[in-house]
Every structure is written in structure tokens, then in C-alpha cells.
């Protein structure tokens, strides 16, 4: 088997350089994932290590699974023994083995952001701190930053005691940590924090993993934070074979703790390290690549590389100046419609923007043209309220100390258990040394609680115990979840409340059972514990689309969500100073450089064609503002640009200085390549039947999905239909502008 077949010279060198510290500096579209996969396969095929002696750390479960599948395609056995996964999932595996060493039981629960926020709100209430003084979100952000910098509550208190606010935050951090321990729970930051603590304090644990893992690999190394850096360095220091792969020019996550210095200082941190640059790009045209190189070259904080490609020259980047943000959306829709009419699928097209708030105009512009789209990065399936409610029952069955899960489950559906009863239940549990579930089962002996509430608590405790019995008895996962859905009364509650979104929520619970069935059939670990870990750790962007029912869709997303993706045709909207780069970034060089890296990421998502758009006037916080083209546009050499100026009037807003409308300071020929966007002609009144859609009718909109008609009136020769869409809200739609299907 020729592992090196199909690799270029630098990729082959990265694959075969197996010993010692190695930095693979991989440019956008340079075959980074392919190189890592072949490297692991080469190590295994050469007998340098067995699968269980390799630790490979990624940032998404999707990436880890793809790598495993492709390594298996080489015919190498026992790949399932290899530890390959996200930092958080690997930390969970380590902590399940050594949880007692850091003061937890092995059955600890993993709290998500909302769970953590609930605990912090409890801390604020207990400390009599108003949410207006310190919000739960602010406290959560401060605590998260402290943990990712490996600062304990005690250390934080010592460093932050000069103001009332800082002392409050110190107290919240301390109390929050205590409550997590009492509930035998960890948040996502704790998974890393406690793993590093374990490796720092336990020679037994550290030596075990140092001896076990001969080779440690880290993907997307530019995105690692201080804790991930230390965890990696500690484990790899045994054999010294640490390979990291990443691109300093794509480091765009400093706001969530990523430290670009980890990759910039690699050779200093690991003496005798080798650096191999992957600079051949297989994705983009030469024009797109040369333009992106020109932009990123303006950054000073980078290691330096120059991407090149054997691909064709390709078309110039089309930069379009428009009068208004609304016109910008119309222009994008018109360009996409032209692409679609030329035979290009919507699946090959993406619209990228700096801020989520930019999507509204774009969505409406696409809807008016009847163009299907999907929002990437919107609320994931497992984040929906009804799913989290059922998960609370399941979590509680495994960890009866989980007070957050208890507080959620006991009120869904309502059982008459109010704040007073909850306080008395908690006090009784602490007095007896019981878990919250054990206290519920013994509610008959708790004074001060009404008899009806006692019965509800006992019944609830029995349900949780029954779920636990099913789980311990290795019952099929769907059977366990079905018990939680039906015997809790949750399904009955949804059917009886008959709200606008009840039907959709019921369908979601049905899909939850489908998902559990798939997991039960396909996963190696079919236990309830394994499923809850999977749900807690799965990536937000991962979603399963219904086979056979999906239509092509344009992808709409922020530039941050576009990282790791690629499309044939890419639009970058809102290329204006104050939007991209953000206003707050323009006074700090480090932030401007990160914004520039984000621009570089967006440009290099495009394979064939790249479009950039901006508006002369934009409405921000309901105020119209004159805008200027982004400084990053000025950094693209003119030879790579086809500029289209649709700006009619330089005096869009009075009493403001006039300026020649240029792309980054260069005045281009104001040559229009197409006329004003054509709006759909209104159908004649003879084609419209008054009341063709009646209140209560179910209809399907190509973008908003299924909704219920609220009203329908004839106006100006067309029908204006008001429709309520679940998860979207109420929309007024002109019937002649879009196809509505009666359900």
C-alpha cells in the first residue's frame, strides 16, 4: 500500500517527518486534512505505533469522524482504538477515569451554557446581587475567561478585590464553583480546567498518558487556548512527538480564548521543532488566491507564506457599490438568480457577512426572488426547548444530584412545585445527605409542603428511578427516551396546550426518538450515558437533513461560521468600514489584523468566483449613515478587480461631506453591468381570488417553512397575506411575489 500516492512533495515530507516536534503550516485549501490523515496512516502502516498509542485532537466531531473513516479506507485495523476527537470529548474520557482525583464522581454531568447561566442566576439571588448590577451573562463570561487562563476562584479573588464589582464577581465565581461540585457537574470550561489540574497534580495520571501516547497530533492549532496548549504539551512531553497543524492567517477566534501566540511561538516553545509549509492551494482560482495573498500580506503578526496554485486564472473579483443596504440585498439576489438561471445550483453558493443582523435584508431579498436559502449556525436541534426538557429527565436519572436538571424537569410539565417547596426540598436533601431525587422519594416526611405537592414529588422521583432502572437494565435507548416523553406527561402537555408551535414541537420529539434509534444502531457505546455525552459534545453546526426531501439552498452565514467550508461562488456582503472591519477594531492593530484574517478566510472560501458588495448608506439602529468601502477592499490590487458602481447620487444624506465614491480610494469607471433589479410584476386582479387563503389555512413558504394564515386582504391588485411561521414570527407576504403551497 502506497500511503504517499497522490501527495505533493511538501505533503509527503510532512507525512514522513514522524519524530520530534513538527509544525505543519497549512495554507487555505492546501490539503491539510488529507496530510494529517496520510500521516496517521503512515505511522500505523510503518509499525511506528499501534492505534491506541495515537492521540489526535480536533475542534469538531465531524472532522474527527471524517478522519477516522478515511484512515480506515487504507485497510488499517483497530482504528476505533485510536483516541481521536475534540478536546472536550477527550477530556471527558480522561476525567471519567480519574474524576475522583479532582474531587468529582465519575457520573458527573456536563452543563451547557444555559445550565451554567441558571446556576449563576441562583448565585446572584443567593448573594442578593441584582441582575442590573451584574448580569448572569457578564458573570459567565468573566468566569469562562478566568478558567481558560487557568485562574482558580481563590486566585481570582486575590487579583480582583479593588472594586465592589470585582469583589462581587469573585464571590460569584467561588459560589458557582461550589454549586457545581455539590451537583457533581462540570461546565465546558471545567472539562479542560480539571483535566489540566489532573495532569499537573497527579504523577500517576500524567505518566499513564505520557507513556501511552507515542504520537500526539493537533488540528487547527491556531485556535487553541492556553489550557489546550498546556494539556497538549504535558501529554506530548513523554515521547516528544508532537505534530500540530494550522494556519496563523486563519486565527479568528481570539474572542473565545484562542491565542495566536501558540502557533507563532511554536519553535521557541519546542526546541528542535521543524516547520513545513503547505503552500499549494487546490481550491481557488489564481485571481482569488493572489487577491487574498495581497490582503493578508498587510498583517505584521504572521509567520509568512505565499499560496500558489496550478488552477486557472479565473474571473476577476466583482466588487459592487450600491446606494442602500436594501439595494445591496436586491443586487445579491439578482446575481444569484442569474447564476441559477445559468444552471448553477444554489448549493454551490454562499453569502457571508460580518454580523448576524445583516442577514435580515439578504433573507428578504432572496425570498422576493423565490431563492431557497438556509441559515448556517442557527439554533441546533438539541438546543430546542422541548429537547432540552426531555434531556433533563435523562440526565437526572444518571446523576440524581443534578439540581439544574431537576429544576427544569420538575416544571415541565408543571407539577405545582413552587419556590417554597423547592427550598424545603433542598434543605431536607442537605440535612439528610440525600440527592435531590432521593429527597423527592422521601417527600412525605418533609414538613411544610402541601400533600398534593408531596404526591407530585414522590411520583416524579419514582419516574426518574424507573428511567434509571431501564438504563441499568440495558433497555434500548429509544424505549428509555419514550418513557421520559410519555410517562412524564410532557407529550400530553403539548397536545393539550395546542399552541401555534405545538405540532412542530411534537414532531421534534418524534425526531428525537429517530435520532436515538440511529445512535442505538450505529454507535459503539449504546448506553444512555454514551448518548448524553454525544449530545453534550456534538457540534452546533452538525445537522442531519431529511434524505430525499431537500431542495438546493443558498447558504447564509457569518464569516466565522464559514471557516472550514468552501463554495464555488461566494458573496461577501457589507464590505464597509464600521461593519467590516468593525468600528471597535479600527483603533487596535491586533484587532484590525484579526479582522483582516477573517477577510482572508472569507475570500479563500471561494473556488470559482468571488463577489464583494457594499452600500453607500446603511440603516444602523434605525439611523441612516453614510458608509465608506472597507479598507480591505483598498488592499486588493486593481488588476484583480471588476468594479461595478450602481451609486446614482453622491448626496444620499444631506449635510455630510461629499466624496468621490471609490473602492478603497481608487476611482473606477462607473460602468453598470446590469440594470436596476427587476421586481416581479404584480399579477392582474383577475388572477387573484379574494380570500384564496383563509385564516387558519396551512401554507408552505420556500424560505420560512410551514405557517398558518392569519389574514388575507386584496390590496393594489394583489393579495397581502399575513402568516405566522413557527420560529420566524409573523410575516406579511405579497402573494404574487412568491409561491405559497397549500398544505
Q: Which residues are catalytic?
A: 32-33, 219-220, 250, 605
Cell numbers at 97, concatenated? 477515569
What is the CB-side half-sphere exposure of residue 662 using CA atoms within 13 A? 12
Cell numbers at 722, concatenated? 399575513
Q: Identify any residues that bridge with 350 across adjacent strands, giving them in sequence order.
A: 555, 570
Q: Alpha carbon of 383 to those of 120, 408, 479: distances in Å?
A: 19, 14, 22
From the number of C-beta atoms within 10 Å of its C-beta (0-12, 13-18, 19+), residue 326 rates as: middle
From the number of C-beta atoms within 10 Å of its C-beta (0-12, 13-18, 19+), residue 483 rates as: buried
How distant is the alpha carbon of residue 101 from its chain centre?
Answer: 32
Please answer whether residues 222 and 42 qualify as being in contact, where contact means their C-beta atoms are separated by less than 8 angstroms: no
Cell numbers at 682, concatenated? 404584480
Place of cell 487546490: 282
> Which residues neighbour 328 within 8 Å (Cβ) at sequence distance 6 or greater?
320, 322, 361, 573, 574, 613, 614, 615
Smallest CA-to-CA distance from 540 within 115, 65, 61, 220 is with: 61
How distant is the alpha carbon of residue 179 from its chain centre?
Answer: 27
* Residue 130: CB atoms within 10 Å: 9
Give the β-pairing of 623-626 and 606-620: antiparallel
State the Cα–Cα distance between residues 141 and 187, nearest whole angstrom.
13
**Cis peptide bond prior to 413, omega within 30° of 0:** yes
CA triple 224-225-230, angle to 5 deg: 95
> Which residues neighbour 301 within 8 Å (Cβ) at sequence distance 6 or greater?
248, 260, 264, 590, 593
Stretch (H or E) spanning 273: none
State the Cα–Cα distance between residues 41 and 1, nearest whole angstrom.
10
- Scanning 149-285, the segments in alpha helix (DSSP H) are 153-159, 164-182, 188-201, 203-212, 226-236, 261-264, 266-269
State the Cα–Cα distance between residues 335 and 349, nearest whole angstrom.
11
State the Cα–Cα distance between residues 579 and 352, nearest whole angstrom.
13
- Terminal CA-to-CA distance of the chain, rounded, Å? 55
Q: Identify any residues that bridge with 276 across adjacent strands, giving them in sequence order.
A: 24
Per-residue three-class SS string for 11-37? HHHHHHCCCCCEEEEECCCCCHHHHHH
SS3 for 713? strand
> Which residues neighbour 553 within 8 Å (Cβ) at sequence distance 6 or greater?
346, 347, 372, 373, 374
SS3 for 725? strand
* DSSP secondary structure of 512-554: HHHHHHHHHHH-S--SHHHHHHHHHHS-TT---PPTTT----E
Amino acid at each position: 500500500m502506497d500511503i504517499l500516492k497522490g501527495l505533493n512533495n511538501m505533503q509527503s515530507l510532512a507525512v514522513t517527518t514522524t519524530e520530534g516536534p513538527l509544525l505543519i503550516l497549512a495554507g487555505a485549501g492546501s490539503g491539510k486534512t488529507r496530510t494529517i490523515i496520510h500521516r496517521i496512516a503512515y505511522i500505523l502502516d510503518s509499525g511506528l505505533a499501534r492505534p491506541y498509542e495515537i492521540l489526535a485532537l480536533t475542534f469538531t466531531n465531524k472532522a474527527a469522524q471524517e478522519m477516522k473513516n478515511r484512515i480506515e479506507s487504507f485497510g488499517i485495523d483497530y482504528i476505533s482504538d485510536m483516541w481521536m476527537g475534540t478536546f472536550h470529548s477527550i477530556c471527558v474520557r480522561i476525567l471519567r477515569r480519574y474524576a475522583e482525583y479532582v474531587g468529582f464522581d465519575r457520573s458527573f454531568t456536563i452543563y451547557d451554557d444555559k445550565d451554567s447561566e441558571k446556576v449563576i442566576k441562583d448565585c446572584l439571588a443567593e448573594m442578593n446581587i441584582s441582575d442590573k448590577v451584574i448580569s448572569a451573562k457578564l458573570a459567565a463570561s468573566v468566569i469562562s475567561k478566568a478558567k481558560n487562563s487557568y485562574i482558580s476562584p481563590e486566585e481570582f479573588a486575590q487579583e480582583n478585590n479593588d472594586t465592589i464589582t470585582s469583589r462581587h464577581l469573585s464571590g460569584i465565581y467561588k459560589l458557582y464553583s461550589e454549586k457545581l461540585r455539590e451537583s457533581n457537574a462540570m461546565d465546558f470550561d471545567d472539562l479542560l480546567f480539571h483535566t489540566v489540574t489532573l495532569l499537573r497534580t497527579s504523577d500517576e495520571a500524567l505518566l499513564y498518558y505520557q507513556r501511552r501516547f507515542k504520537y500526539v497530533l493537533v488540528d487547527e492549532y491556531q485556535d487553541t487556548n492556553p489550557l489546550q496548549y498546556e494539556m497538549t504539551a504535558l501529554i506530548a512531553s513523554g515521547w516528544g512527538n508532537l505534530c500540530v497543524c494550522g494556519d496563523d492567517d486563519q486565527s479568528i477566534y481570539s474572542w473565545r480564548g484562542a491565542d495566536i501566540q501558540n502557533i507563532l511561538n511554536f519553535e521557541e516553545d519546542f526546541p528542535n521543532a521543524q516547520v513545513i509549509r503547505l503552500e499549494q492551494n487546490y481550491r481557488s482560482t489564481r485571481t482569488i488566491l493572489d487577491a487574498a495573498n495581497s490582503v493578508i500580506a498587510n498583517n505584521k503578526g504572521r509567520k509568512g507564506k505565499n499560496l500558489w496554485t496550478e488552477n486557472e486564472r479565473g474571473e476577476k473579483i466583482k466588487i459592487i457599490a450600491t446606494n442602500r443596504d436594501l439595494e445591496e440585498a436586491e443586487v445579491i439576489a439578482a446575481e444569484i438568480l442569474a447564476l441559477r438561471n445559468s444552471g448553477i445550483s444554489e448549493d454551490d453558493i454562499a453569502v457571508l457577512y460580518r454580523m448576524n443582523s445583516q442577514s435580515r435584508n439578504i433573507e428578504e431579498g432572496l425570498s422576493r426572488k423565490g431563492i431557497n436559502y438556509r441559515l448556517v449556525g442557527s439554533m441546533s436541534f438539541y438546543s430546542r426547548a422541548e429537547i432540552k426538557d426531555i434531556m433533563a429527565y435523562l440526565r437526572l436519572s444518571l446523576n440524581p444530584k443534578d439540581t439544574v436538571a431537576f429544576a427544569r424537569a420538575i416544571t415541565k410539565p408543571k407539577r405545582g412545585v413552587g419556590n417554597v417547596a423547592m427550598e424545603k426540598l433542598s434543605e431536607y436533601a442537605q440535612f439528610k445527605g440525600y440527592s435531590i431525587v432521593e429527597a423527592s422519594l422521601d417527600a412525605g416526611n418533609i414538613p411544610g409542603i402541601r400533600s398534593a405537592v408531596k404526591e407530585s414529588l414522590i411520583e416524579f422521583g419514582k419516574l426518574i428511578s424507573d428511567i434509571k432502572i431501564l438504563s441499568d437494565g440495558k433497555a434500548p435507548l429509544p424505549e428509555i427516551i419514550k418513557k421520559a416523553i410519555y410517562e412524564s406527561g410532557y407529550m400530553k402537555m403539548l397536545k393539550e396546550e395546542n399552541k401555534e408551535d405545538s405540532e412542530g414541537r411534537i414532531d421534534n420529539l418524534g425526531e428525537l426518538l429517530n435520532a436515538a434509534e440511529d445512535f442505538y444502531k450505529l454507535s459503539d457505546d449504546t448506553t444512555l450515558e454514551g448518548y448524553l455525552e454525544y449530545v453534550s459534545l456534538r457540534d452546533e453546526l452538525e445537522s442531519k437533513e431529511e434524505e430525499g426531501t431537500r431542495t438546493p439552498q443558498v447558504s447564509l452565514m457569518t464569516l466565522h461560521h464559514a471557516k472550514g467550508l468552501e463554495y464555488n461562488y461566494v458573496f461577501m456582503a457589507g464590505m464597509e468600514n464600521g461593519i467590516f472591519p468593525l468600528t471597535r477594531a479600527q483603533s487596535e492593530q491586533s484587532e484590525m489584523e484579526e479582522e483582516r484574517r477573517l477577510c482572508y478566510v472569507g475570500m479563500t472560501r471561494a473556488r470559482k468566483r468571488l463577489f464583494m458588495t457594499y452600500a453607500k448608506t446603511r440603516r444602523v439602529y434605525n439611523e441612516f449613515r453614510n458608509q465608506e468601502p472597507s479598507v480591505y477592499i483598498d488592499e486588493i490590487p486593481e488588476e484583480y478587480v471588476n468594479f461595478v458602481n450602481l451609486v446614482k447620487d453622491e448626496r444620499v444624506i444631506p449635510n455630510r461631506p461629499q466624496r468621490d465614491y471609490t473602492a478603497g480610494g481608487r476611482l473606477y469607471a462607473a460602468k453598470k453591468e446590469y440594470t436596476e433589479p427587476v421586481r416581479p410584476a404584480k399579477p392582474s386582479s383577475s388572477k387573484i381570488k379574494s380570500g384564496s387563503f383563509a385564516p387558519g389555512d396551512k401554507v408552505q413558504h420556500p424560505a420560512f417553512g410551514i405557517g398558518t394564515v392569519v389574514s388575507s386582504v386584496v390590496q393594489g391588485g394583489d393579495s397581502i397575506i399575513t402568516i405566522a411561521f413557527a420560529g420566524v414570527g409573523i410575516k406579511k407576504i405579497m402573494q404574487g411575489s412568491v409561491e405559497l403551497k397549500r398544505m
